[in-house]
Structure 1
């Protein structure tokens, strides 16, 4: 088995960056459909639809848990604010973004928010593709 270290801005086993995939997930959390998101990002509709399906259910819950953990480590007070969105995915992304913004300020970091979120999720913004 070969192990490869990926930059934090990449997502495991995906051709797109955390920023592109994260932007698609955030748009879905706001209520946009997969066709609209695909057109905006200039990606195939089938690819975006697959991303959005992979980020539902248990994985959205896992993302939220990562958001809670990193928000708590960054600034426990952030969990006292009403940051919840109407969907589990939106709630997770909001917590992850809040933690990333706090880390940017604390570390005086120029790393992009999506790169920090990629670090927080260990490259697993989406779960690995299903093996067929």
Structure 2
């Protein structure tokens, strides 16, 4: 099965829905708030947020490097206060850099493609060093 840019591996919800919940959490909103706005069960959103938090540092590093590869003139990405929010900020910076370099339509679809659909991987971080 091919994974479109609108989804993530083993997730049936659209990547933009998951992205909405990630951004809301980074801004201080709880999982119930996002679940109510998205019309999905609270347990689903809580699961997304927990899974993302598990690999937040690896996600931050991956997308920070990717953002600067796409735009070497990007300023330093300043810490936001939590590892979760730092990772979301790096993902956003990379998506914006992709948008500027590759044209419209990047956004969360870019995030899905850049992570091979594994930004919420439950079998270990897809970017962790091996060996």
> Do they fold alike, i.e. is TM over 0.5?
yes
- Does residue 1:114 correspond to 2:114, yes or no? no
Gaps of 5+ in 2: 125-131
Gaps of 5+ in 1: none
Task: Give the RMSD, CA atoms, in angstroms.
Answer: 1.9
How far apart in 1 are the matches of 2:88 and 2:75? Answer: 14
How far apart in 2 are the matches of 1:71 and 1:112? Answer: 13
Contact 1:60-1:88 at 8 Å conserved across structures? yes
What SS is found at the alignment partner of 1:78? coil
- 2:44 alignment counterpart: 47
TM-score (norm 1): 0.83
The equivalent position to 1:80 in structure 2, one of 76, 81, 97, is 76
Q: Structure 1's 116 and 28: CA in aligned 2 closer, same or farther, altered over 3 A?
A: same
The equivalent position to 2:22 in structure 1, one of 15, 21, 25, is 25
Report how many residues are paired.
124
TM-score (norm 2): 0.84
- 1:95 alignment counterpart: 90
How far apart in 1 are the matches of 2:40 and 2:123? Answer: 17
The equivalent position to 1:7 in structure 2, one of 1, 4, 8, is 4
Runs of 4 or more, structure 1, over 6 Å off, are: none
